Amino acid sequence: MKYLLLGLIACLPSVFAAFGVTKSGSNLLVDSGAGLVTTINTANGDITSLNFNGKQLQDSSKFTQLSSGLGSATVTSSVANNIAVVTIKTSTITHYYIVRSGTNTLYIGTFASAEPTVGELRFIARLSKSALPNGIPAAEVNGGTAIEGSDVFLLNGQTRSKFYSSVRFIQDQVHGVTGSGVGVFMIIPGVGYETSSGGPFFRDINNQGSAQQELYWYMNSGHEQTETYRTGFFGPYAMAVTTGSAPSASLDTSFMDSLGLQGYVGASGRGTVSGSYSGTLSGAAVTIGFKNSAAQYWVAGSGGSFTRTSMKPGTYTATLFQGELEAGTGSVTVSAGKTSSLTLTTSLSKPSVIWSIGTVDGTPAGFLNADKIQTIHPSDTRMSNWGPITFTVGSSSASSFPMAQFKAVNNPTTIKWTASSSQIGARTLRIRTTEAFAGGRPQITVNSFTSAAPAAPPTVDSRGVTRGTWRGLNQIYDFAIPSGTLIAGSNTIAINVISGSSGDVFLSPNFVYDSVELF
């Protein structure tokens, strides 16, 4: 019987592995006690090994790290109350890996007093492609040929990019990669994005399948960024290793409140905002966003009310979003341990329209190719023909109207409309856009009248729609149509992209449509 017991123990080493941190040369070995052993280089904080039940998950040539690697750092560790904390410090970064006994999850927090000098502020796990071959298909680029910059590829006749792995912040709680009997997932719990920038609808890279399987969590980047960067404590976030299934997004990080992490604010130091909203378009998703220079938050509205918990103290600008369109604003001050009240009402102009194309919601949803643009390049053969398009009011469907207009591809977009005598006279054509590239904006010609050229939109220094996003800065263009221009009968409206800049094909000046209204 004694020998049988010894044999069973020998067969189950991971079950009885000791939790803790041990030093081995220039490495720290952090053992979860449940099958995951993480090796951290003490010279720079890189993770050089992720051994899960005997299977190596870490790539051997490129490592898991913050930004593009910190170069050099001071690495220390402590163990208390069945919690191991590894602290990695530079002059501007304090980065934490935290492991709880019996849990195969790396809890992570990053304090940054400034943007890193090497790369962007991101966590990137460069994992073994053989152990974890299954990433996000649209982001699998290995063996592809670059067709735009160094980040959009053609592979087996389809366009691929790491940008096509992105998910809006408001939806992105869990994303990961898998292999046979194993999965590695990033978890971003309720306050994970509070120190990032861009708001609830910003999106960033989650995965790239190259020679390595790259798993990301971006904190700050210039990928169509519309806000200045924040600094402070980013997270908490986590990288969970499982036997293949995705973990719950409900990650308990309450134990971190007592760890003394730099810049971390625990539950007792946070407050709540509860309130009501009104005036938004029926059927449109409602989000309430909060931001100041130190933090950002959001919460979905439902039935005219909302409650947002776990906010750091401070005064915030609150925004009522109709879809992704700013519909109203307010201000609220949050205090620790208290609930503040807020009432928001839409201030959107709601003219009585003669006709409209699309929904006023800050997105091109329902337009031609809008259902594909987030995961494939505009040049992809799976896209419907971009045109130029002629749209006939009263008979054409919104799905035939282009979601984006490119100066060198589908210019102009033409609208045909038969007006009655009561519909003519002085009118306004309103065009809402969600994003622009290279100064692209609309100018209209109505029958024989051509409008003045509007001013260029604010510059966002990034490619947008070719990288899978329409989320830039919402703009509104009102064109006054003089009396005598429209006639009772057939009218032609041409919308042209104008810009002082130039570019080729889908990198020519362009903009993304939200809606078009005549009133």
| Beta carbons of 262 and 198 less than 8 angstroms apart | no
Residue 79 binned pLDDT confidence (cut-offs 50, 70, 90)? very high
Q: What is the pLDDT of residue 514?
A: 98
Q: How confident is the model at residue 2 (pLDDT cuts 50, 70, 90)?
A: very low
Six-digit token string for 122: 């991101």
By the 10 Å C-beta count (0-12 exposed, 13-18 middle, 19+ buried), 327 is classed as buried
CB 57 within 8 A of CB 50: yes
- Please give the full DSSP string across 139-193, using - where no structure is assigned: GB-TT-EEEETTTEEEETTEEEEGGGG-EETTT-SEEEEEETTEEEEEE--TTTT
The rounded distance, in Å, linking the Cα atoms of 122 and 254 is 23
Secondary structure (3-state) at 369: coil
**What is the pLDDT at residue 9?**
33
CB distance 182 to 54 below 8 Å: no
pLDDT tens for 202-237 read: 999 999 999 999 999 999 999 999 999 999 999 999
- Give me the DSSP letters along 66-120: ETT--SS-EEEEEEETTEEEEEEE-SSEEEEEEEETT--EEEEEEEESS--SSS-
C-alpha span between 193 and 188 (Å, rounded): 7
Tokens of 360: 């006023």
CB-based contact 253:237 (threshold 8 Å): no
| CA distances from residue 434 to 179, 284, 360 in whole angstroms, order as listed | 38, 16, 11
Taking the C-alpha atoms of residue 507 and residue 440, their distance in angstroms, rounded to an integer, is 11
| Residue 66 burial (CB count, 10 A) | 26
Torsion angle of the four alpha carbons 166, 167, 172, 175, in this order, in degrees rounded to the nearest 10? -40
Q: Which residues contact 514 (CB under 8 A, 6 or more apart)?
A: 325, 358, 360, 361, 362, 363, 364, 432, 433, 434, 474
- Using the 8-state DSSP alphabet, how is residue 302 labeled? B
Instruction: Render pLDDT for 472-519 as a digit per residue (tens, 0 to 9).
Output: 999 999 999 999 999 999 999 999 999 999 999 999 999 999 999 999
CA 477 – CA 460 distance, rounded (Å): 18
Q: To the nearest whole number, what is the mean pLDDT of the chain?
A: 95
Tens of pLDDT, residue by residue over 377-432, are 999 999 999 999 999 999 999 999 999 999 999 999 999 999 999 999 999 999 99
Strands 413-419 and 390-392, how do they pair? parallel
Give the C-alpha separation, 21 to 302, whole Å. Answer: 47
Could you tell me which residue, 461 or 194, shows the higher pLDDT?
194
Q: Amino acid identity of 141? A: V
Residue 199: which of 330, 291, 134, 117 has the closest Cα?
291
- Please give the Cα distance from 497 to 412 (Å, whole number): 7
Q: Rounded to whole angstroms, how far apart are CA atoms 465 and 449?
A: 31
The pLDDT confidence band at residue 334, using thresholds 50, 70 and 90, is: very high
Closest by alpha carbon to 162, among 182, 178, 146? 146
Average pLDDT over residues 75-85: 98
Distances (CA, A) of 104 to 50, 53, 59: 11, 10, 18
Give per-residue pLDDT as tens, 88-97.
999 999 999 9
Non-local (6+) Cβ contacts of 238 within 8 A are 105, 106, 107, 108, 186, 187, 189, 251, 253
Q: What is the pLDDT of residues 429-449, one digit of tens each?
A: 999 999 999 999 999 999 999
Helix (H, G, I), strand (E, B) or coil at 19: coil
Cα 352–chain centre separation? 35
Asked whether 110 and 95 are in contact (CB, 8 A), the reply is yes
What confidence tens digit (pLDDT) does each residue in 115-160 have?
Answer: 888 778 999 999 999 999 999 999 999 999 999 999 999 999 999 9
